[in-house]
A = this chain, B = another copy of it.
């Protein structure tokens, strides 16, 4: 869990990282979250700050009532808002949001998408979800929008079953996790994540080159698709894979450029906020809520 204290101007005055006790189950994850929120509040007060709002982002779908479905956290309708209110009271607003969309919002406000009104934040991490910016706002679809990672780009016999139950999703080939898994499956050698695959790629390993080419092919497909449908002016790639830098970005630019005919070509850039994007986005959403409330009163 990335967490922090963020001032009204977006400056991060304190940051820390805590473990997510996934293996211990959904209740343990929730307790760890509640403890974190309580302790960060205490730290803020001890440091002479006043907590004005709480922003929490999660990798899942949030209902209007604040219950969350998040497979990764073993949450199946977990009443996160109710539990947060029970833990810290309701003196200050509590904002719940989707982690990738919050990351996209941070990139939009302070990062690689600043100044755009139609753009895409696409983090390539363990999974792939997208944050769509349209008319200057993040698209939520009541929590369901942006699942570009679960769109089919592999067809026929080559399609692998995705964790989501569909076949041939982008995520099965182009996520950081998929790179490591596919390399291991082909080489018979277990690797330490996508970072090691990228090192092998740089060292001239042929199997690494093969799984990398597969990833680039479907990523180009996905970017062409999104460009055709939504016409973004800029696409910011984030997540672990963007550590590859131009090794990733230049083939994506070339591939997209070669495929487009009538479409408007987007800039393709690296996201700049890294792993903190979601955390920062949570805080920005929370401050937005403070502003809204002040405007109404």
Name A residues whose Cβ lies closer than 8 Å to a Cβ of B: 118, 130, 132, 134-135, 137, 139, 141-142, 144-148, 150-152, 155-156, 164-166, 221, 224-226, 228-232, 259, 261-264
Contact = CB atoms under 8 A, between A and B. Distances in A.
A148 B221 CA distance: 14
A229 B146 contact: yes
Contacts of A264: 141-142, 144
Contact of A230 (B145, B152, B166, B221): B145
* Oligomer: number of copies: 2
7 contacts: A132-B230, A135-B137, A141-B264, A144-B231, A145-B230, A155-B155, A226-B229
A242 B25 CA distance: 49
Contacts of A135: 134-135, 137, 139
B134 A229 contact: no
B261 A151 contact: no
Nearest to A61: B262
Given A150-B262, A164-B262, 7 more contacts: A132-B230, A134-B135, A134-B139, A144-B264, A148-B228, A156-B156, A229-B229
Nearest to A144: B231
A1 B148 CA distance: 38
Given A141-B118, A152-B221, A147 B259 contact: no
A263 B143 CA distance: 10
Contacts of A148: 228-229
Nearest to A135: B137
Contact of A152 (B132, B165, B166, B225): B225
